[in-house]
Chain A
Amino acid sequence: MTDASALVAGPPQTAEIPPPVSRWRVLARRLWRHRSFRIGGGIVLVIVLLALAAPLLTDGSPNQMALRNRFAPPSAEHWFGADNFGRDIFTRVLYGARISLWIGFASALIAAVGGALVGMVSAWFRRLDALMMRIMDALLAFPAILLAIGINAALGPQVSSVIIALGSAYIPRMARIVRASALVIRELDYVDAARVSGAGSGRIIFRHILPNVMAPLLVSVTFVFAYAILAEAALSFLGIGPPPPHPSWGNIIAEGRDYSVEAWWIMLFPGLAISLAALGTNLLGDGLRDVLDPKLKIEQ
């Protein structure tokens, strides 16, 4: 058995017992060994750094118009070209990264915390389940983007309304996924064992159920982060995101749409930026899932 697992595991482990290392060190090492995590983490890190360094890398004015540069194609001076107002697309894309990443992060956090709480509580307290799931169903009845459009329209076109709208739009979806896992887990023997040994509901939910719904939760959070970036872009594209001239990625694409055949660079580069950001986030989440998922740990 040990021989077989050593073969599967790849590099053979040293014979002597290693000194005890912290759980986080072990996790960090496993993460580092994971290819998707490295690639995804690298992409996200580069985008975050570029977003932070935007004032240093550009002249710091994403809305600076220069009519003599109208529709300037990509060149050494304008890497990504210029739009119909002569604004530099590279500068606008870098500043757009700040808006998009923040919206993605904040909405994913709201969705994860809210969804995990609702999902676990309704799986555990069976009497609450019907009521909570009916409320979730009512919220779920609205497709996420429609709910976001509605809330956003009500709160006014601001970055914060996009965050609240997208975050709340995903709570019921996360809750359903967490609940589905938690429903199976609550029937398992170790939960009975914990209950028999006198553990309270809070302890069972957070110590026994939460760690075991973490894997699906993380996979879903990944999607929410990436999808929030995509949804923000879609909202901007529809004209209900952060208001122009905010250089959000969706806004740049919307502005470049009319010139998509002649001045393709206006919409091409922000689209690539959205795709890269979402791709990096998804890869990162894949790595996290593989490492943190207890069932896959046995295999590795």
Chain B
Amino acid sequence: MPRLIALRILQAIPVMLVVAILTFMLMHLLPGDPATIIAGDAATPEAVDQIRRDLGLDRPMITQLWLWLTNFIQGDFGRSIMLNQPVAEAVLERLPVTFSLAFVAFCITIPIGIVLGVIAAVWRDTWIDSGVMVLALVGVSVPNFWIAILSVILFSVTLGWLPSAGYVPLSQDAGRWFLSLVQPATVLALFQIGYLARMTRSAMLEVLDQDYIRTARAKGVSPGTTILKHAFRNTLMQVVTVSGYILSLLIGGSVVIEQIFAMPGIGRLLVQAIMARDYPVVQGTMLLLGFAFVFINIVIDLIYAWVDPRVRYD
């Protein structure tokens, strides 16, 4: 296992490099000349040239890529044009918001999704199964930004129970932090809960059909133990795979949800930066998010190998 961990971290380095190059290339495909946009309509051609030189946009692409790579290795992610602030600072300021949102949503999703899926599989083809599956289906079928608007109308405008927008930092007030996250996180989790419940159910059904489950039942193992120890443990591999995917969906989904609940997170920063053509921020945000996901994937891979030794890693 320690060897595997070291190997995975070593393998992550080229991935990060690919992430960095992809991010750089993606952003240079964006239409529009950033120098012209930053300078504004009234700028003279000389002023535009000056900005272009300052940003290094007049140099060859490969030189820009090299400069960018060497800078970010030194921790310099560039300077935001619209915020007039270092990108790393702008992203780090907003990181807790997005992570809080995704974390609370993840904590809602995992237990509820797994329990619903197992229940549906165990009581297969009964009204319980149908009921759970209809709920799960609605969860994966309803657009979350739409539910978010409806939810705000009900819980914030009409009933006045929950704040309709904004974010309170954890360090400021834990209660209000949670209160500000309940609605967005729940709305964000709905899709993932349905998704996880469906995947867990189908994985459980596959396992429950196996001979060794029948053997376990026949030799008198209690139903609870059969389900948890013999069946559920064997679905863990699929559940782990799906959980990693869910985390990526949650952070991706937070882009939209942050927008609706006016939460100052990374998603909101990214959308604003794309709209404003703030290249350094777009690049820096994508890159840092990319690195976060490389890390999550390493963890998933390791859990994967730990859960199922049948998967050979060579």
Contacts and interface: CB of A to CB of B under 8 A. Distances in A.
B248 A140 contact: yes
A146 B238 contact: no
Contacts of B177: none
Interface in B236-258: 237-238, 241, 245, 248-249, 251-253, 255-256
B145 interface: yes
Contacts of A6: none
B153 A134 contact: no
Contacts of B157: 261
Interface in A32-82: none
Nearest to B158: A261
A150 B282 CA distance: 9
A134 B252 CA distance: 20
Contact of A141 (B142, B146, B153, B290): B290
Contacts of A184: 310-311
Nearest to B206: A295
B45 interface: no
A180 B259 CA distance: 35
Interface stretch (A20-28, A83-91, A226-234): A226-234
- Chain A interface SS verdict (over half): helix
Q: How large is the interface on B (under 10, 10 to 19, 20 to 34, 35 or more residues)?
A: 35 or more
Q: How large is the interface on A (under 10, 10 to 19, 20 to 34, 35 or more residues)?
A: 35 or more
Given A135-B18, A230-B191, A275-B141, 13 more contacts: A138-B294, A139-B22, A141-B291, A142-B286, A143-B253, A145-B255, A146-B255, A176-B245, A177-B241, A180-B238, A230-B143, A271-B143, A275-B143
Interface in A256-300: 257, 260-261, 264, 267, 271, 274-276, 278-279, 282-283, 289, 295-296, 298-299
Contacts of A187: 310, 312
B18 A138 contact: yes
Interface of A: 126, 130, 134-135, 137-146, 149-151, 153-156, 173, 176-177, 180, 183-184, 187, 219, 223, 226-227, 230, 233-234, 237-240, 250, 253, 257, 260-261, 264, 267, 271, 274-276, 278-279, 282-283, 289, 295-296, 298-299
Contacts of A151: 26
B137 A253 contact: no
A153 B256 contact: no
Interface of B: 11, 14-16, 18-19, 22, 26-27, 29-31, 137-138, 140-146, 149-150, 153, 157, 191, 195, 199, 202, 205-206, 209, 237-238, 241, 245, 248-249, 251-253, 255-256, 259, 270-271, 274-275, 282, 286, 289-294, 297, 310-312, 314
B15 A261 contact: no
B159 to A, nearest CB: 13
B310 A275 contact: no
Contacts of B312: 187
Contact of A234 (B16, B145, B205, B275): B145
A237 B256 contact: yes
A141 B311 contact: no
B26 to A, nearest CB: 5
Given A126-B314, A143-B252, A253 B18 contact: no
Given A137-B297, A223-B195, A154 B289 contact: no
A141 B143 contact: no
6 contacts: A134-B15, A150-B26, A155-B29, A234-B145, A238-B256, A296-B209
A234 B238 contact: no
B206 A238 contact: no
Given A145-B253, A146-B252, A223-B140, A140 B274 contact: no
A106 B140 CA distance: 20
Contacts of B19: 138, 141
